Amino acid sequence: MMTTRQLVILTVYGIAFWFTAAICVKLGGSIGIFGKTASVFTFLISIFISWLSILLNIKIANLSSQQIVPGVCYGLMIATFFDSIFITWFSKLYGSEDEKIIMGAAWILWGVSFFIIFAIFEYKRRHVGEDFQSLKRDQYIYTIICGIVLWLFGGLTCKFGESFSIFGQKASILSFIVAIPSLWISIVAVIKVGNLKKDQIITGVSIALSAAVFCDGIAFTWFRALYGKQLYHIRLGSAWILWGGFLTFLFSFVEEYRFKE
């Protein structure tokens, strides 16, 4: 699928994207670019930045059209892994206030959504020849619905999990572990519901994830009460959802590799 050189470049790019976003959250929180009103402009600007980042990603890693979606998803997998770990256990990198970190996490989730959207757009714009990756219209609908269901599941888990203290410096370790089989089952369900073929798995699963984190980005910013009452809990919940993003990317690669027609 990709060469070792490309994987190394994309790994470095993913780490750079993670660290840059973390610093933007830290600095942006201190100058007020996140908030009920300010985030509207920040989110809109990030759409353009996401597209430029995708173009840079394609150029640096020298991705062919068929490598664009898996390549971008691989870089996002690296970035969301570090985001989930650091927002949970090393949150000072993102700032000192939970509220601003939550806003920053929402912005990151929104960015993940548009990275996926523009990766698919660039693939369709550049690809010439027989197309095995693209989905049919009904497959788009089914995978987006699956994404909305995943968003609701994640939000409700955060909301009702607050009463059971499922997140914390120690509790989050168990929550992260429990998420592994849960997400794998969910990915298998997305593949089944979307009737995805082997070459469609990464694209289809990423579309479902894009829909889910798009909703998360909006909800964490303007409807935060959907995830709980305590800012500390909500911040850890956002990290858990980013961990879910990492697992979703990971399992999409695994399932495409092991898929049998």
Proportion of the chain above pLDDT 70, given as a percent: 99
Residue 261: pLDDT above 80?
A: no
Q: What is the pLDDT of residue 25?
A: 93
pTM of the model: 0.93
Taking a C-beta distance cutoff of 8 angstroms, is the pair 67, 122 a contact? no
- Residue percentage of the chain with pLDDT more than 90: 79
Q: What is the mean pLDDT of residues 40-54?
A: 90
What is the DSSP track for 194-211?
TT--GGGHHHHHHHHHHH
What pLDDT score does 132 carry?
80
pLDDT tens digit string along 172-208?
A: 999 999 999 999 999 999 999 999 999 999 999 999 9
Report the amino acid identity of residue 59.
K
pLDDT digit string (tens) for 9-40? 999 999 999 999 999 999 988 888 888 788 88
Model confidence at 58: pLDDT above 90: yes
- 93-120, pLDDT tens digit by residue? 999 899 999 999 999 999 999 999 999 9
User: pLDDT confidence of 128, banded at 50, 70, 90?
Assistant: confident
Mean pLDDT in residue range 112-140: 90
33: helix, coil or strand?
coil
| Mean pLDDT score, 80-103 | 95
Is residue 162 very low, low, confident or very high in pLDDT (cuts 50, 70, 90)?
Answer: confident
Distance CA 73, CA 252 (A): 9
Which residue did the predictor score with more confidence, 169 or 115?
115
DSSP category for residue 134: P
The pLDDT of residue 3 is above 60: yes
Task: Tell me the average pLDDT across 139-157.
Answer: 95
Determine the Cα–Cα distance for residues 233 and 236; give it in Å rounded to an integer: 5
State residue 163's pLDDT score. 83
Task: Read off the pLDDT band of 232 (50, 70, 90).
Answer: very high
Nearest to 82 by CA among 249, 251, 239, 252: 239
- pLDDT value of position 260: 54
Q: Give the pLDDT band of residue 92 (cuts 50, 70, 90).
A: very high
Which of 219, 208, 202, 190 lies closest to 253 in space, CA to CA?
Answer: 202
